[in-house]
Amino acid sequence: MKPTARLSDVGQSLWLDDITRELLDDGTLARYINDLSVTGLTSNPSIFDHAIAHSEKYDGEIRRMTARGYASEALFFELALEDLNRAAELFMPIHVATAGADGWVSLEVSPLLAYETEETTAEAIRLSRRANRSNLFVKIPGTTEGLPAIEAAIFAGVPVNVTLLFSPAQYAAAADAYMKGLERRVAAGLAPDVRSVASVFISRWDRAVAGKVPEALRNTLGVAVGKLSYKSYRDVLESDRWQRLANHGASAQRLLFASTSVKDDKAPDTLYVQALAAPNTVDTMPQATLAAFADHGKVDGVLPRDGGDGAAVLEQHRAAGIDVAALAARLQTEGAQAFVESWKDLLKAIDTKSRALN
């Protein structure tokens, strides 16, 4: 049995953190689904920037759409939705077989709106209606300003992938926003089965403290955060508040481990995937990490319900001078800023291509 299949057997969904037209056209994504147990897909501005800027496969569509008056952001969403609709169709059998628990693709709202609550809400609703796919998540950042937008989008019936979470506390705030949206639906007499995932980023923790902690702590902080986020996730699922929603027909917001590619060349390339195997969660990874895990990954067990040594490892980092809470806030802010820069690069690449092709 392949390592990816063993990961699926313990109950963790394996999603691809990438999308290109080549993946769709040459059958690679279909092969990942059939051979490597891939059951979903995520995207972000950086992924689309690379896909569109470095491929000629979008040129004909860019030429046609530009002639019809599309430009910049509007043109991007047309291109992105075309790719994601094709991917969503490939995942639809999985989506149906799992009663909506799996088989999802994700599209991000404009990162320029990360700190604009009302604009983010309106854009999330617009994109969801424009896509008209039952298995498309709209990604909304779990920033302070994003949390009310998450609640409002869920209340409006929009499936949400909460992104840019970096700590158990940030995850808990996202879970609270999700449940508030569902509770509003119950109070309004609406069905509360609106799906969501909460994406906690892992590898950026270790990159942020590289060279600042003792060698014994190298590449341990991300996994510790993942373990404690899993504990918080299980706490939510076992709470009376969630059980009341489940009794009304709500389905759990799944914990998703994002940024699970290794940034340290000296670390095993499957480090985070192996360490964060856990039932009823998702791990999304780029193609290189997927290939590495399929080739030589191992599943030696699953995350402990109580967070294992996560708290002890965080305390060791605090003793080494790392303010973990402050770092979580900084990583979220920097993540939002990085997505803004990628978004600007993406729109610039589209505008440059549009001018060149027309």
Active-site residue list? 139
With CA atoms as reference, report the closest residue to 220 among 236, 202, 235, 232: 202
Tell me the one-letter amino acid at 275.
Answer: A
Tell me the one-letter amino acid at 127.
Answer: L
Return d(Cα 280, Cα 98) in angstroms, integer. Answer: 12
Return d(Cα 198, Cα 18) in angstroms, integer. Answer: 18
With CA atoms as reference, report the closest residue to 146 among 110, 111, 115, 180: 115
With CA atoms as reference, report the closest residue to 129 among 102, 99, 156: 156
Q: Where are the alpha helices (DSSP H) in the chain?
A: 3-9, 21-25, 28-36, 45-53, 59-67, 72-97, 117-131, 146-155, 168-187, 203-209, 221-237, 240-247, 271-275, 287-296, 310-319, 324-357
**Residue 329 contacts by C-beta under 8 Å, 6 or more apart in sequence?**
none
Return d(Cα 84, Cα 60) in angstroms, integer. Answer: 18
Kindly report the backbone phi and psi dihedral angles of residue 197, in degrees, each rounded to the nearest multiple of 5, phi listed first: -130, 155
**Do residues 327 and 205 lie in contact, with contact meaning Cβ atoms separated by under 8 Å?**
yes
Return d(Cα 212, Cα 24) in angstroms, integer. Answer: 42
Report CA dihedral (237, 279, 258, 298) to the nearest 10 degrees.
160
**Do residues 141 and 78 lie in contact, with contact meaning Cβ atoms separated by under 8 Å?**
no
The one-character DSSP state at 101 is S
